[in-house]
Amino acid sequence: MKWIFRWLWRANPGIRRAFANKVRDAVVGEPRLAAKFYPYLPERLSYRVKIDNPRSDPRAGLEIPPQDLWWGYTDRPESYLAIGKDYVVNMKKVLEDAGSPLESYKRILDFGCGSGIMIRWLHDNAVNGEVWGVDISGAHMLWCQQHMSPPFNFATTTSFPHLPFEDGYFDFVYAGSVFTHIADLAEAWLMELRRIVRPGGRLYLTVHDEHTIDLFMKNTEHATGAMLRAHDRETHFNATGYDFFTVNRTPGAGGTGQAQVFYHTDYLRRHWSRYLKIVSITPESYWYQSAVLLEK
């Protein structure tokens, strides 16, 4: 029996591909394994980075990434640019209202930067200081490294709570729609972000909260609203109350199994304030999401 399996394995590339796909699907779909998984080109067993107009002149304009790297934000390039700019404008206002304008920070990290929808609007900060973007999607990081560096710096990470920076390295860290998808390791990631921020430095994290839920539940067209209404019929979370809850658990972006995490702001104030000072919570700073500004 063993020799038959060995013969099929060697003789039939289709069997090898099917087996590799099964393993890949098992890893991606299992949170305990996916925590250490970071895909560059997950559909392939090997990959090659071809020369693709590498960015050598920081004065040249930034390219718009291909649509398959937009993560569903929109389907038009002008909207992609406008959405990212709006998110950064909102973030700047929250910081200014708190007495710490973005321009006052020299070292900045975009945690979960994707294809650079927000970081691209921090060009002046990058030229006059140091701006990093990290993400668990290697495909996004490869594109950013080729097309947005310089002036920005990028690194691929995993969903395991560790970042390749020394203690207190950054003045400011922001994460747009990242803690909305961290189901099991949110506190560990919060501690890791606290570690790499200097004393007096700040963090800007967007979350789904009760205000977000209310907006989604009233939205009859958005898929997240339909998902929440179905989840409420099953669990009655609106009637019974919650500190936080998740729908699905798998980390990463995209796919039907991706974690969607929802907090009550009372829980955030009670729990996150044990680790960091909560400066403000601002509704609708990142579309329906609220922005939590914290200080170390």
pLDDT of residue 68: 87
Alpha-carbon distance values, 277 to 200, 201, 270, 284, 295 (Å): 10, 11, 11, 21, 5
For residue 239, tell me if it sits in a domain: no
- The CA-based angle 59-62-64, given to 5 degrees, is 170
pLDDT tens sequence across 156-172: 998 889 999 999 999 99
Q: Inform me whether the pLDDT recorded for 46 exceeds 80.
A: no
Q: Are residues 12 and 73 in the same domain?
A: no
Q: Inform me whether the pLDDT recorded for 267 exceeds 70.
A: yes
* Rounded CA separation 172/197 (Å): 7
Q: Inform me whether the pLDDT recorded for 110 exceeds 80.
A: yes
Q: What is the CATH number of the domain that holds 72?
A: 3.40.50.150
Share of the chain above pLDDT 90, in %: 65
* Rounded CA separation 74/108 (Å): 26
Summary mean pLDDT of the chain: 86
Q: Are residues 93 and 26 in the same domain?
A: no
Helices and strands in the chain, H and E counts? 11, 9
Q: Are residues 75 and 11 in the same domain?
A: no
Question: Which of the four pLDDT bands, split at 50, 70 and 90, describes residue 261?
Answer: very high
Where in the sequence is the domain holding 23, given as residue range(s)?
Answer: 2-34
Share of the chain above pLDDT 70, in %: 78
For residue 125, tell me if it sits in a domain: yes
* End-to-end CA, the chain: 62
Q: Inform me whether the pLDDT recorded for 51 exceeds 80.
A: no
Question: Which of the four pLDDT bands, split at 50, 70 and 90, describes residue 111?
Answer: very high
The total number of structural domains in the chain stands at: 2
Q: Are residues 96 and 150 in the same domain?
A: yes
Contact 213, 291 (CB under 8 A): no
Question: Which of the four pLDDT bands, split at 50, 70 and 90, describes residue 74?
Answer: confident
pTM more than 0.75: yes
By three-state DSSP, how is residue 249 classified?
coil
Q: Inform me whether the pLDDT recorded for 182 exceeds 80.
A: yes
pLDDT tens sequence across 235-254: 999 999 999 999 987 765 55
> What is the residue type of 252?
G
Q: Are residues 24 and 112 in the same domain?
A: no
What are the DSSP calls for 82-146, one per residue? HHHHHHHHHHHHHHHHTT--GGG-SEEEEET-TTTTTGGGGHHHHHHSEEEEEES-HHHHHHHHH
pLDDT of residue 42: 59
pLDDT of residue 210: 97
